[in-house]
């Protein structure tokens, strides 16, 4: 509460300050351009609402996909300040990620990844602030621990599934994160010409089981699907708990220029997966083992998946907070469809089918739809607020439409600059969305920021959605490419300040300077090192050319933010060790001579003195 009061006071100061600026600006900014007094007061109000005073903190975290940077970016809302970059699928020298033995091993041979959809862990359909999952196109999924904002596990590349786009959506109690194929290919993988695409290529939907205590992910099962391009997904909740929905395009099973060949039919599909039935089938021993994975074929195991016809080339598919409706549409349509989960169940019971695809029943569109909502052109994704409010991004119209579940009435539209893709609402994928804030994640932002050359800085726009009309508050730079983001209440995340000494179980950890030093076993050399303000112990060590050297560094600090780096020149090594942490790096001392190591992370007034030498004889 006091935080809010302080913010409000600071906001008033900002307002006064801004009014001053506005007056000074008047001569160079004609009133016609600024729209006069009304606009100025709107601007001042928007500034007040996004102003987080020095010393004050944001009320939400936003976790945004970093696209093919392979990272996740963390923002504060409402300030839209960039708080942190979390490296996931790519090395990042700033945190030493991808340089020490453990993270290097986790990355494997792939040093890039294209991340799309972050998914916060949930308990009873609400974000619980424990983990963040994120998918990647090379068939992988990662878990970030929200205690320390670090990547702890990368699962994959998983077999059979290629181009993991429709991922990493979690179920309401984080039983599963999901994966699905964007680029169908032969299953099992083998060289088959594209002329056999329609029959020999297959899609895969996969369930990744998550350990409720540790968050450890393991591949549980896969479902063999027709060769469509699976695009996005969302888990059923409350009324539809136990189901998972995936949009797909290219029901034509076409190849070549998909923009033409995959747009022949008027409708594509949303695949509805009964994941509990899949789980049960696996438990009963059904499924064939392909490339070491249990794969369920819907021809042999009926009842685990159904297809819902949907406008052609759908993108997003989103389940309403109460789980009663599934929202999806063709991405070039002017309407979005609200499918009724109850009607879908009735249609399944009554075998109200209009056909089948590779043995999977296709439900009748007319039997399962409740409404076609007139949202506007190019509906992509829908997010939710409290009281049945829904917000749909419109790529073609470059706007957001606000509408109501149940009455299907569109009540407001907010223009976006420009060409919005995903959008993200505060706690927007939960059973109890907050409202308050909505962020439009724009795809093509031109002229919203100072020019930096041919690549225009991306812009995400923060909207106030507390009132009937949506109000634009702020244009923030977001690192490309923010495909999707999730916004969680800040007080749900409990971070640690240091790694407690008692919890450090690393076999090479040492806490006493007298234990530091070099030991040799044949050609293997282990250097146990301690870092603490502002010295490396040892400050020098010798090895023989050709030795396999492991440097194990323990940061014995127990003070928050006392990180130390270990940059070893000419050897392409830079670790960052947090307080209480032990990290190792193993390399062959190929180059002879003298090589300095130094602390790369500012730690004290004597940070510059924190250095040492490796001598390779
Ligand atoms: Cu860019 Cu979800 Cu991969 Cu939509 S995705 S806009
Ligand atoms: Cu240790 Cu800088």
pLDDT digits (tens, 9 = 90+) for 161-214: 999 999 999 999 999 999 999 999 999 999 999 999 999 999 999 999 999 999
Q: Tell me how long the chain is.
A: 617
Distance CA 531, CA 528 (A): 10
β-pair partners for 475: 461
User: Comparing C-alpha atoms, which of 470, 450, 454, 452 is closest to residue 462?
Assistant: 470
pLDDT surpasses 80 at 25: no
Contacts of 393 (CB under 8 A, 6+ apart): 316, 379, 380, 381, 382, 400, 416, 420, 421, 422, 423, 440
Distance CA 104, CA 151 (A): 12
Enter the tokens of residue 239: 């009324």
Query: Given this model, what pLDDT does residue 508 score?
Result: 98
Please give the average per-residue pLDDT across 83-101, as a whole number.
98
* Structural contact between residues 225 and 245, judged by C-beta atoms closer than 8 angstroms: no
Q: Is 563 in the pocket of ligand 2 (CB under 6 A)?
A: no
Query: Given this model, what pLDDT does residue 38 score?
Result: 64
Query: Given this model, what pLDDT does residue 31 score?
Result: 38
Region label for 280, one of left (φ > 0), alpha (ψ between -120 and 50) or beta (otherwise): alpha
| Ligand that comes closest to the CA of residue 480 | 1
> Given the CA of residue 422, which atom of ligand 1 is nearest to it?
6
Q: Is 116 in the pocket of ligand 1 (CB under 6 A)?
A: yes
pLDDT digits (tens, 9 = 90+) for 326-376: 999 999 999 999 999 999 999 999 999 999 999 999 999 999 999 999 999
Q: Is 422 in the pocket of ligand 1 (CB under 6 A)?
A: yes
pLDDT surpasses 60 at 3: no
Task: Select the CATH number that applies to the domain covering 50-448+456-492 from these four: 2.130.10.10, 3.30.70.360, 3.30.70.20, 3.40.30.10.
Answer: 2.130.10.10
User: Comparing C-alpha atoms, which of 432, 435, 431 is closest to residue 391?
Assistant: 435
Q: What's the 3-state SS for 279-320? A: HHHHHCCCCEEECCEEEECCCCCCCCEEEEEEECCEEEEEEC
Distance CA 193, CA 256 (A): 12
| Ligand that comes closest to the CA of residue 422 | 1
Q: Report domain extents, the chain.
A: 50-448+456-492, 501-616
pLDDT digits (tens, 9 = 90+) for 271-294: 999 999 999 999 999 999 999 999
User: Comparing C-alpha atoms, which of 154, 159, 169 is closest to residue 98?
Assistant: 154
Atom 2 in ligand 1: residue holding the nearest Cα: 483
> Given the CA of residue 421, which atom of ligand 1 is nearest to it?
6
| Ligand that comes closest to the CA of residue 421 | 1
* Structural contact between residues 73 and 479, judged by C-beta atoms closer than 8 angstroms: yes
pLDDT surpasses 80 at 533: yes
pLDDT digits (tens, 9 = 90+) for 552-583: 999 999 999 999 999 999 999 999 999 999 99
Dist. CA 197 → ligand 1 center (Å): 25
Atom 1 in ligand 2: residue holding the nearest Cα: 564
* Structural contact between residues 121 and 128, judged by C-beta atoms closer than 8 angstroms: yes
> Given the CA of residue 395, which atom of ligand 1 is nearest to it?
6
Q: Is 202 in the pocket of ligand 1 (CB under 6 A)?
A: no
Query: Given this model, what pLDDT does residue 35 score?
Result: 53
Distance CA 116, CA 493 (A): 22
Enter the tokens of residue 131: 């983990």
Dist. CA 600 → ligand 2 center (Å): 6
* Structural contact between residues 413 and 401, judged by C-beta atoms closer than 8 angstroms: yes
379 to each of 81, 94, 331, how far by Cα in Å?
Answer: 28, 38, 5
Q: Is 143 in the pocket of ligand 1 (CB under 6 A)?
A: no
Dist. CA 95 → ligand 2 center (Å): 13
pLDDT surpasses 70 at 16: no
pLDDT surpasses 80 at 21: no
Dist. CA 89 → ligand 2 center (Å): 26
Atom 6 in ligand 1: residue holding the nearest Cα: 421
Handedness of CA 510, 512, 518, 520 (dihedral sign): negative
Dist. CA 516 → ligand 2 center (Å): 18
How many angstroms from the chain centroid is the CA of residue 401?
24
100 to each of 95, 208, 394, how far by Cα in Å?
Answer: 10, 27, 44
pLDDT surpasses 80 at 469: yes
Distance CA 401, CA 180 (A): 29
Dist. CA 39 → ligand 2 center (Å): 49
Dist. CA 430 → ligand 1 center (Å): 19
Handedness of CA 241, 125, 439, 445 (dihedral sign): negative
State the chain's mean pLDDT as an integer.
93
Contacts of 440 (CB under 8 A, 6+ apart): 393, 400, 414, 416, 420, 423, 460, 461, 463
User: Comparing C-alpha atoms, which of 259, 260, 237, 262 is closest to residue 249?
Assistant: 262
Query: Given this model, what pLDDT does residue 446 score?
Result: 84
Distance CA 221, CA 275 (A): 10
| Ligand that comes closest to the CA of residue 136 | 1
Q: Is 414 in the pocket of ligand 2 (CB under 6 A)?
A: no
> Given the CA of residue 165, which atom of ligand 1 is nearest to it?
3
User: Comparing C-alpha atoms, which of 483, 413, 397 is closest to residue 166?
Assistant: 483
Query: Given this model, what pLDDT does residue 37 score?
Result: 65
Greater model confidence, 417 or 36: 417
pLDDT digits (tens, 9 = 90+) for 207-241: 999 999 999 999 999 999 999 999 999 999 999 99
Handedness of CA 123, 168, 96, 64 (dihedral sign): negative
Q: What are phi and psi of 47, to 5 degrees?
A: -60, -40
Contacts of 294 (CB under 8 A, 6+ apart): 220, 221, 222, 282, 287, 288
Q: Is 182 in the pocket of ligand 1 (CB under 6 A)?
A: no
| Ligand that comes closest to the CA of residue 234 | 1
pLDDT surpasses 50 at 2: no
Token pair 């685990």 in the structure block, residue = 304
Q: Mutate which of 315, 328, 332, 392 to test ligand 1's pocket (most atoms within 8 Å of Cβ)?
A: 315
Please give the average per-residue pLDDT across 81-100, as a whole number.
98
Q: Is 554 in the pocket of ligand 2 (CB under 6 A)?
A: no
What CATH number labels 501-616? 2.60.40.420
pLDDT surpasses 70 at 19: no
pLDDT digits (tens, 9 = 90+) for 285-322: 999 999 999 999 999 999 999 999 999 999 999 999 99
Query: Given this model, what pLDDT does residue 365 score?
Result: 97
* Structural contact between residues 590 and 572, judged by C-beta atoms closer than 8 angstroms: no
Q: Is 68 in the pocket of ligand 1 (CB under 6 A)?
A: no
Taking each helix axis as running N to C, give the angle between helix 2-25 and helix 36-50, from 0 to 180 degrees, rounded to the nearest 10. 140
Least-confidence region, from 126-135, 302-311, 314-323, 443-452 = 443-452
* Structural contact between residues 328 and 314, judged by C-beta atoms closer than 8 angstroms: yes
Q: What are phi and psi of 180, to 5 degrees?
A: -155, 150
Atom 3 in ligand 1: residue holding the nearest Cα: 116
| Ligand that comes closest to the CA of residue 609 | 2
Q: Reduced to 3 states, what is the DSSP secondary structure of residue 508?
A: coil
User: Comparing C-alpha atoms, which of 331, 187, 181, 201 is closest to residue 255?
Assistant: 201
Enter the tokens of residue 199: 């029959």
| Ligand that comes closest to the CA of residue 137 | 1
Q: Is 219 in the pocket of ligand 1 (CB under 6 A)?
A: no
Query: Long-range contacts made by residues 350-359, C-beta under 8 angstroms, separation at least 24?
Result: 354/309, 357/226, 357/251, 357/269, 357/307, 358/225, 358/226, 358/298, 358/299, 359/297, 359/298, 359/299, 359/302
Q: Is 65 in the pocket of ligand 2 (CB under 6 A)?
A: no
* Structural contact between residues 183 and 162, judged by C-beta atoms closer than 8 angstroms: yes
Q: What's the 3-state SS for 388-436? A: CEEEEEECCCCEEEEEECCCCCEEEEEECCCCEEEEEEECCCCCCCCEE
Dist. CA 514 → ligand 2 center (Å): 20
Q: Is 435 in the pocket of ligand 1 (CB under 6 A)?
A: no
Q: Is 421 in the pocket of ligand 1 (CB under 6 A)?
A: yes
pLDDT surpasses 80 at 130: yes
| Ligand that comes closest to the CA of residue 602 | 2
pLDDT band at residue 39 using 50, 70 and 90 as cut-offs: low
Dist. CA 547 → ligand 2 center (Å): 27
* Structural contact between residues 533 and 604, judged by C-beta atoms closer than 8 angstroms: yes
Q: Is 610 in the pocket of ligand 2 (CB under 6 A)?
A: yes
How many angstroms from the chain centroid is the CA of residue 348?
33
Dist. CA 439 → ligand 1 center (Å): 14
> Given the CA of residue 531, which atom of ligand 2 is nearest to it?
1
β-pair partners for 327: 318, 338
């Amino acid at each position: 509460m006091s935080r809010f009061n302080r913010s409000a006071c600071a906001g008033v100061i900002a307002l006064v300050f801004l009014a001053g600026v506005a007056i000074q600006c008047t001569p160079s900014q004609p009133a016609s351009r600024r729209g006069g007094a009304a606009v100025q007061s709107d601007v001042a109000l928007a500034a007040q609402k996004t102003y987080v005073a020095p010393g004050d903190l944001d009320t939400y975290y936003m976790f945004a996909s970093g696209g093919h940077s392979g990272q996740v970016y963390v923002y504060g809302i409402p300030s839209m300040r960039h708080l942190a970059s979390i490296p996931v699928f790519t090395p990042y020298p700033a945190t030493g990620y991808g340089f020490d033995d453990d993270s290097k091993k986790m990355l494997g041979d792939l040093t890039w990844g294209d991340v799309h959809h972050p998914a916060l862990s949930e308990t009873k359909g609400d974000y619980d602030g424990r983990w963040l999952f994120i998918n990647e196109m090379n068939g992988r999924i990662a878990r970030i621990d929200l205690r320390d904002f670090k990547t702890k596990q990368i699962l994959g590349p998983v077999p059979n599934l290629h181009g993991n786009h429709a991922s990493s959506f979690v179920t309401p109690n984080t039983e599963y994160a999901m994966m699905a194929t964007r680029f169908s290919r032969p299953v099992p993988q083998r060289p088959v010409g594209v002329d056999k695409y329609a029959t020999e290529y297959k899609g895969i939907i996969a369930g990744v089981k998550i350990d409720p205590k540790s968050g450890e992910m393991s591949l549980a099962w896969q479902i063999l699907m027709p060769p469509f391009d699976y695009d996005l997904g969302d888990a059923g909740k409350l009324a539809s708990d136990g189901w998972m929905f995936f949009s797909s395009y290219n029901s034509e099973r076409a190849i070549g220029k998909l923009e033409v060949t995959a747009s022949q039919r008027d409708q594509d599909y949303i695949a509805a997966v009964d994941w509990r039935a899949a789980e049960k089938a696996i438990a009963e021993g059904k499924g064939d083992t392909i490339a070491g994975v249990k794969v369920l074929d819907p021809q042999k195991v009926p009842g685990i998946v159904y297809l819902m016809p949907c406008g052609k080339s759908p993108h997003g598919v989103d389940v309403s907070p109460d789980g009663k409706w599934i929202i999806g549409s063709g991405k070039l349509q002017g309407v979005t469809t609200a499918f009724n989960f109850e009607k879908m169940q009735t249609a399944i019971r009554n075998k109200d089918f209009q056909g089948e695809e590779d043995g999977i029943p296709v439900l009748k569109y007319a039997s399962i739809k409740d409404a076609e909502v007139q949202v506007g052109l190019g509906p992509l994704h829908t997010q939710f607020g409290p009281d049945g409010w829904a917000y749909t991004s419109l790529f073609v119209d470059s706007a957001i439409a606000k509408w109501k579940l149940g009455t299907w009435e569109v009540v407001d539209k907010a223009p976006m600059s420009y060409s919005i893709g995903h959008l993200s609402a505060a706690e927007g994928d939960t059973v109890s969305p907050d409202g308050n804030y909505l962020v439009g994640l724009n795809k093509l932002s031109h002229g919203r920021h100072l020019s930096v050359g041919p690549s225009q800085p991306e812009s995400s726009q923060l909207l106030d959605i507390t009132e009937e009309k949506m109000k634009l508050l702020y244009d923030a730079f977001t690192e490309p490419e923010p495909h999707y983001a999730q916004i969680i209440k800040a007080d749900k995340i409990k971070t640690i300040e240091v790694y407690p000494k008692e919890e450090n179980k690393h076999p090479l950890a040492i806490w006493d300077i007298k234990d530091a030093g070099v030991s040799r076993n044949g050609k293997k050399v282990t250097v146990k090192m301690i870092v603490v303000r502002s010295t490396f112990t040892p400050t020098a060590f010798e090895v023989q050319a050709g030795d396999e050297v492991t440097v194990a560094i323990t940061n014995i600090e127990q003070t928050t933010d006392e990180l130390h780096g270990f940059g070893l020149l000419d050897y392409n090594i830079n670790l960052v060790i947090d307080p209480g942490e032990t990290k190792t790096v193993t390399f062959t001392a190929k180059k002879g001579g003298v090589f300095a190591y130094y602390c790369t992370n500012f730690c004290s007034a004597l940070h510059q003195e924190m250095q040492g030498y490796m001598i390779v004889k």
